[in-house]
C-alpha cells in the first residue's frame, strides 16, 4: 500500500507532466470516479492544463486550469505510469488492470499518456472544485514532513486521542497524515518505543524522539524511492529500494539488527505489527 514516501516519489516523478494539456480521458471502471461521472468529468477536464501535482497525506492532488482539482487515492494497488507516447486503444484493451487513461499533449505538442493501473480496483479519482478543496484539506491531519510542523503541534496531535495506542495514532490520517503500517512499525523501532504504549504514557523525550525519527525514516524512504514489498512501482514503473533497509516490518522470526533478539509480530487495531521486544519499551 503506497504510504507517504511512495506517494511523494510518484508526485516527484509526475512533475514532468505539469504544463501538459489533457486532450481526453478514458475509464472502464467508473465506480472509481467520485463527485462526478464519466461524461461530466470528460467535459470538465478536456482542454484543461495541469497546473500542479502535489501530495496531501497519501493522496495525490492534481490542480487543473479553471481552478478545478482531481484528488487521486491509490488505495491498495493503484499505480500511475507516465508513458512517453500515446497509449493505443488496443494496448488499453489488452491490459486488464489498466482502468483509467489521461491523454496528454506536452507544450511541444507531443502526445503522451498518464496510465492508471489498479489490480484490486479500490483506487479513487475525486472531482474537487475550489470551494470544497479547503474543506477536504481540513480533514487531513498534519503532514510530518511539513517544515511548519513544530514539536508542539506534533505533540498536540498525538495527545488528541490519549487512550489510543501510539501505533494507531501514527496511522490515524486525521491526526498525522501519510503514515501506514510499514512506516509506523519502522518509526517506532527507530524511536525505541513499543507499539502498544498508550499515547498518554509517552514522556516528553519520547515524543521528541518519535517526532525526529518520523521525519528521519520518511525522508530516508523517499531517498530510496519507497518500499516495494508487494506491487508498488514509481511513475516510471520501477521498484523502490527501502525494503532492503527495513528493520522490523515483516521481519518477525528474524534477529533484531541491533540486539539479536527475535522480532515479534502481533495484531494492533486489526493490523499486523512488528517490533523488537527488547529494543522497544
The residue among 82, 89, 43, 85 whose CA lies nearest residue 66 is: 43
Residue with cell 501530495: 55
- Kindly state the smallest distance separating residue 200's Cβ from Zn ion, in Å: 25
Count how many Cα atoms sit within 13 Å of the Cα of residue 148 in the half-sphere of its side chain.
Answer: 1
76: left (phi over 0), alpha (psi -120 to 50) or beta: alpha
Measured from the CB atom, the residue of 130 and 259 that comes closer to Zn ion is 259
Q: How many CB atoms lie within 10 A of CB 145?
A: 17
Catalytic residue among 2, 5, 144, 195: 2
Helix ranges restricted to H, 69-165:
89-94, 130-138, 151-158
Tell me whether residue 79 is one of the annotated catalytic residues.
Answer: no
191 interacts with Zn ion by CB under 5 A: no
Residue numbers 236-275 binding Zn ion by CB under 5 A: 256, 258-259, 261
- Least CB distance from residue 212 to Zn ion, whole Å? 19
Binder among 198, 250, 271, 278 for Zn ion (CB under 5 A): 278
Q: What is the 3-state secondary structure (H, E, C) of 163-175?
A: CCEHHHHHHCCCC
Query: What stretch of H or E contains 5?
Result: helix 4-13
- Smallest distance, Zn ion to C-beta of residue 262, A: 9
* 44 or 251: CB nearest Zn ion: 251
Q: Catalytic residue among 3, 6, 115, 186, which?
A: 3
Beta carbon of residue 275, minimum distance to Zn ion (angstroms, whole number): 9
Specify whether 58 is catalytic. Answer: yes
Catalytic, out of 55, 58, 165, 225:
58
Is 216 among the residues known to form the active site? no
Q: Is 222 in the site for Zn ion (CB under 5 A)?
A: no
Least Cβ distance, residue 258 to Zn ion (angstroms): 4
Using CB under 5 A, which residues numbered 83 to 112 contact Zn ion? none
Catalytic residue list contains 131: no
The gap between the terminal CA atoms of the chain, to the nearest Å, is 27
What residue number has its CB nearest to Zn ion? 256
The SS3 of residue 177 is coil
Pairing relation of β-strands 124-129 and 68-73? Answer: antiparallel
Residue 88 CB partners (closer than 8 Å, separation 6+): none
Q: Determine if 276 is a binding residue for Zn ion (CB under 5 A).
A: yes
Q: Find where cell 518509526 sits.
A: 187
Nearer to Zn ion, 128 or 276 (CB): 276
Residues that bind Zn ion (CB under 5 A): 256, 258-259, 261, 276, 278-279
What are the residue numbers of the active site? 2-3, 58, 271
Amino acid at each position: 500500500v503506497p504510504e507517504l514516501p511512495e506517494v511523494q516519489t510518484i508526485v516527484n516523478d509526475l512533475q514532468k507532466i505539469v504544463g501538459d494539456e489533457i486532450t481526453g480521458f478514458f475509464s472502464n471502471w467508473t465506480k472509481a470516479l467520485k463527485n462526478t461521472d464519466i461524461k461530466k468529468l470528460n467535459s470538465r477536464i478536456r482542454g484543461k492544463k495541469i497546473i500542479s501535482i502535489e501530495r496531501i497525506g497519501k493522496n495525490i492532488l492534481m490542480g487543473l486550469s479553471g481552478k478545478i482539482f482531481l484528488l487521486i487515492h491509490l488505495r491498495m494497488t493503484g499505480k500511475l505510469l507516465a508513458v512517453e507516447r500515446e497509449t493505443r486503444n488496443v494496448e488499453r484493451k489488452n491490459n486488464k488492470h489498466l482502468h483509467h487513461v489521461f491523454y496528454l499533449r506536452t507544450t511541444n505538442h507531443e502526445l503522451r499518456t498518464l496510465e492508471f493501473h489498479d489490480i484490486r480496483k479500490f483506487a479513487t479519482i475525486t472531482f474537487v472544485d475550489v470551494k470544497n478543496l479547503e474543506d477536504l484539506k481540513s480533514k487531513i491531519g498534519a503532514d510530518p514532513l511539513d517544515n511548519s510542523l513544530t514539536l508542539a503541534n506534533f505533540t498536540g496531535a498525538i495527545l488528541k486521542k490519549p487512550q489510543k495506542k501510539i501505533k494507531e495514532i501514527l496511522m490515524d490520517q486525521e491526526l498525522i497524515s501519510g503514515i501506514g503500517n510499514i512506516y509506523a512499525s519502522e518509526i517506532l523501532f527507530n524511536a525505541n518505543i513499543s507499539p502498544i504504549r498508550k499515547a498518554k504514557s509517552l514522556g516528553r523525550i519520547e515524543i521528541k524522539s518519535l517526532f525526529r525519527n518520523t521525519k528521519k525514516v520518511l525522508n530516508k524512504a523517499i531517498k530510496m524511492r519507497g518500499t516495494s514489498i508487494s506491487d508498488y512501482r514509481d511513475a516510471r514503473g520501477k521498484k523502490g529500494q527501502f525494503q532492503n533497509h527495513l528493520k522490523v516490518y515483516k521481519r518477525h522470526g528474524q534477529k533484531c539488527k541491533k540486539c539479536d533478539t527475535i522480532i515479534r509480530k502481533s495484531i494492533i487495531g486489526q493490523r499486523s505489527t512488528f517490533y523488537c521486544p527488547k529494543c522497544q519499551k
